């Protein structure tokens, strides 16, 4: 893997599975029931709006997940958090020096 995703990004994609699963199971069940003749054509008025809402929600959730992954990919992957913050520009060299002096004194 080129980058290490954060726990927030991992959790986001795991939660996304719960949104994705009903979309595909519902679609497959609807197609199967339609082929078997178990449901009438009036169900199209219910299925397609629900399908559209789930698809749109899944799409938006996926785009948010991709932006989280992009943020993780652009962050420094250095194992030392202070060095990573320095590389990413979150702290300046003075703050980094203070943190390292505090660690050395302990």
Quickly count: other Cβ atoms within 10 Å of residue 10's Cβ: 14
What residue segments make up the domains of the chain, in order of their start?
1-75, 79-106
Residue 74 confidence (pLDDT): 80
**Mean pLDDT for all residues in the chain:** 85
Confidence of residue 68 (pLDDT cuts 50, 70, 90): very high
Which of 61, 65, 86, 62 has the alpha carbon at shortest distance from 76? 86
Confidence of residue 62 (pLDDT cuts 50, 70, 90): very high
CB 62 within 8 A of CB 72: no
| pLDDT, mean of residues 73-81 | 78
- pLDDT over 70 at 96, yes or no: yes
Residue 2 confidence (pLDDT): 66
Quickly count: other Cβ atoms within 10 Å of residue 86's Cβ: 19
Contacts for 76 with CB less than 8 Å, ≥ 6 apart = 83, 84, 87, 88
How would you write 10-22 as a 3-class SS string?
HHHHHHHHHHHHH
């Amino acid at each position: 893997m080129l980058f290490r995703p954060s726990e927030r990004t991992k959790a986001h994609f795991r939660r996304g599975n719960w949104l994705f699963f009903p979309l595909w199971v519902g679609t497959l069940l609807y197609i199967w029931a339609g082929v078997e003749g178990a449901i009438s054509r009036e169900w199209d008025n219910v299925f397609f709006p629900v399908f559209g809402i789930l698809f749109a929600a899944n799409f938006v959730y996926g785009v948010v997940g991709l932006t989280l992954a992009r943020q993780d990919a652009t962050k420094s992957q250095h194992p030392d958090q202070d060095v990573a913050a320095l590389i990413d520009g979150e702290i300046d060299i003075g703050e980094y020096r203070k943190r390292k002096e505090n660690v050395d004194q302990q």
